[in-house]
Amino acid sequence: MTTPPLTGLRVLELARILAGPWIGQLLADLGADVVKVEAPEGDDTRKWGPPFVEGTGEEHLSAAYFHAANRGKRSITADFRTAEGQALVKRLAAHADVVVENFKVGGLEKYGLDAASLRKQFPQLVYCSVTGFGQDGPYAPRAGYDFLVQGMGGAMSITGEPEGAPMKAGYAVADIYTGLYATVGILSALRQRDTTGEGATLDLALLDSQVAVLGNQAMNYLVGGNPPPRLGNAHPNIVPYDVFPVADGHIIIATGNDGQWRKLCEVLGEPALADHPDYLDNKSRVKNRVALTAKLHLLCQRYAKADLLAGLEKVGVPAGPINDIGEVFADPQVIARSVRVDLPSAAAKAGHIPTVASPIVMNGVRQVAGRPSPRLGEHADDILNDPAWSGPAR
């Protein structure tokens, strides 16, 4: 069996909800020993249901939301407000490589658990703070929430139909992208520590991450000077690249070049449309998107979904269905790639807890932790008696 790449790395997670735990989960998937320190009442998301994972007894095993971001970890509880709780965290920090926390700016300082305090005592630590708006700037004291940041960070201004209300994404993009960026930062800091022997302090903000992933839309503004509008499902720079109605529903057609455009017209039975001067190249199609989109709607509605998708696939025009999440997990490609993993759990009624695996496949092995999310305080004795987390400090 292949040894996971981060085997031997010790991570102390003082985080809850989503962005911080997402970091810990990804590091656990890659083999790190992640100790999650929870308040005595537990991570808030344990109660964010239904649905809840059913246990073998009367008690459930926490909400599905909690299990989305906490597999592979060990749980211990500590009350940061008490001297005993603070001492426990410091004891664990002495043996950690990485600390992850997502308290408000200054929230851990009064307990002596902030970056400056812990890194002064343990300079080898890579200490990662995740906040809504960062450690400085006028918004630094504010609490940050994914929904608010999607709005403040520009994402909602380009999401939704042109005449409709601004719309957030259907999942927590700011939280999850911040978790991913933070993980990259942590791994980079660890690589630097290999050279210098010194840890690092990382400052990750939801707002920074949300603005960063605006990608080409941000560049469209910075270069063109005009804030991009909402275009529904259309692409600001490529046409046709949209959702189109068919006889029995909708499909996505995503032409990326003029050759694919020509093939699309042939499949739709209108090859001459590709040579129309208004649609001859992408620049022309973007300029005349309204008229062209209307024509394509009429043409696509003559075909059944399966027939048109098959025809487009045959000639190499990118197209696909719009699956609900149930259809996603029934998709043969998703099944073949083992994206869903059932992690054994004697405490679960089903005998296992389902999870969505990390998308990282290394040397043919999908990187996913082998155990499900922990019950509250489940591993306290194991952690306190684990030689890796006791004895002399690093």
State residue 390's pLDDT score: 87
State residue 1's pLDDT score: 63
Q: Would the pLDDT of 89 be above 70? A: yes
Residues with a known catalytic role: 175
What percentage of the chain reaches a pLDDT higher than 70? 99
Buried/exposed code over 69-81 (b: 16+ C-beta within 10 A; e: otherwise): bbbbbbbbbbebe
pLDDT in tens, 157-203: 999 999 999 999 999 999 999 999 999 999 999 999 999 999 999 99
What percentage of the chain reaches a pLDDT higher than 90? 98
State residue 350's pLDDT score: 97
pLDDT in tens, 197-223: 999 999 999 999 999 999 999 999 999
Structure token pair of residue 180: 């991913």
| CA separation for the pair 176, 180 (Å, rounded) | 6
| CA separation for the pair 147, 376 (Å, rounded) | 27
pLDDT interval class at 231 (50, 70, 90): very high
Average pLDDT over residues 344-356: 97
The CATH architecture assigned to 10-214+338-385 reads: 3-Layer(aba) Sandwich (3.40)
State residue 69's pLDDT score: 98
Cα–Cα nearest to 284, from 301, 171, 292: 292
H or E, element range at 200: strand 200-205
Cα–Cα nearest to 12, from 75, 98, 70, 79: 98
pLDDT in tens, 9-43: 999 999 999 999 999 999 999 999 999 999 999 99
Q: Mean pLDDT across the chain, nearest whole number?
A: 97
State residue 324's pLDDT score: 96
pLDDT interval class at 393 (50, 70, 90): confident
Please state the CATH superfamily assignment of the domain spanning residues 241-324 in this structure: formyl-coa transferase, domain 3 (3.30.1540.10)
Q: In the chain, where are the structural domains located? A: 10-214+338-385, 241-324
| CA separation for the pair 4, 157 (Å, rounded) | 41
| CA separation for the pair 334, 58 (Å, rounded) | 34
Q: Would the pLDDT of 97 be above 70? A: yes
In the numeric block, the tokens 């970890």 are attached to 73
Buried/exposed code over 285-312 (b: 16+ C-beta within 10 A; e: otherwise): bbebbeebeebbeebbeebebeebbebb
DSSP-derived 3-state class of residue 366 = strand
Alpha-helix runs per DSSP H in the chain: 19-29, 64-67, 83-93, 115-121, 146-152, 173-196, 206-212, 216-224, 258-267, 282-287, 289-300, 305-315, 325-330, 332-336, 380-384
Average pLDDT over residues 336-353: 97
Cα–Cα nearest to 337, from 313, 311, 359: 359
pLDDT interval class at 230 (50, 70, 90): very high
| CA separation for the pair 141, 308 (Å, rounded) | 53
H or E, element range at 32: none
